[in-house]
């Protein structure tokens, strides 16, 4: 299985082009880093790959087939701000099971405690919330995971714990991962290969 973005261009409204003719390929089980200075469209590229936005030119395909906009999207995105990514009026249990019930093994792997499930999102810290977002994105139907600054706001220990869990799951399922980060050490440590957005 291969996620391929070919010749992608994008701009907001009538503004200048954020990027033109970008090509990204991620193989099954591959871990790819994506780096660029701020404001070069890393997040926008991630959003296009995950189907949040449509590219102006070019196409995003999986095994050569365009991704259907209906049903569960095989490319899932974990965003930088977990507080924005969960509905503040839903208890965590409902947030988790939005894409289907996760198994308890995954929960314990990410260090999610049982009692957190009955809490509201504002009763959890950012790091705790981000674990929930990761579990939600690690659905059994997910083929590729895009981590857009997923652990930037977390302390080193929590970062390590989350990444260990994600890598373990990715290895077991043969899932491809794209990591966006400003932290070179993290990218060097985790990624098989690095794409630089120019």
Exposed, middle or buried, 130 (CB in 10 Å: 0-12/13-18/19+)? buried
Residues 23-62 binding other proteins (CB under 8 A) are: 50-52
The CA distance from 28 to 15, in Å, is 35
> With respect to other proteins, which residue has the nearer C-beta, 110 or 136?
136
Q: Report CA dihedral (185, 195, 138, 57) to the nearest 10 degrees.
A: 150
**Using the rule CB under 8 A, is 101 a contact of other proteins?**
no
**Using the rule CB under 8 A, is 71 a contact of other proteins?**
yes
**Using the rule CB under 8 A, is 9 a contact of other proteins?**
no
Output the smallest distance, CB 99 to other proteins, in A.
4
Q: Answer whether 159's CB lies under 8 Å from 150's CB.
A: no
**Using the rule CB under 8 A, is 85 a contact of other proteins?**
yes
Q: Which residues bind to other proteins, rule: CB under 8 A?
A: 50-52, 70-73, 76-77, 79, 81, 84-87, 89, 98-99, 136, 139
């Amino acid at each position: 299985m291969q996620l391929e973005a070919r010749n992608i261009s994008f701009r907001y409204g009538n503004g200048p082009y954020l990027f033109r003719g970008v090509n990204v390929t991620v193989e099954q089980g591959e871990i790819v880093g994506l780096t660029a200075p701020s404001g070069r469209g890393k997040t926008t590229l991630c959003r296009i790959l995950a189907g949040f936005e449509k590219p102006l030119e070019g196409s995003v395909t999986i095994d050569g087939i365009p991704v259907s906009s209906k049903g569960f999207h095989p490319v899932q995105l974990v965003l930088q701000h977990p507080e924005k990514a969960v509905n503040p009026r839903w208890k965590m249990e409902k947030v988790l099971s939005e894409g289907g019930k996760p198994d308890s093994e995954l929960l314990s792997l990410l260090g999610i405690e049982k009692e957190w499930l009955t809490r509201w999102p504002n009763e959890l810290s950012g790091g705790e919330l981000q674990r929930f977002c990761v579990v939600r994105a690690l659905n059994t139907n997910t083929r590729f995971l895009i981590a857009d600054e997923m652990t930037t706001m977390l302390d080193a220990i929590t970062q390590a714990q989350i990444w260990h869990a994600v890598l373990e799951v990715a290895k077991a399922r043969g899932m491809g991962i794209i990591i966006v980060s400003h932290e070179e050490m993290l990218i060097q440590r985790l990624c098989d290969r690095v794409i630089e957005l120019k």
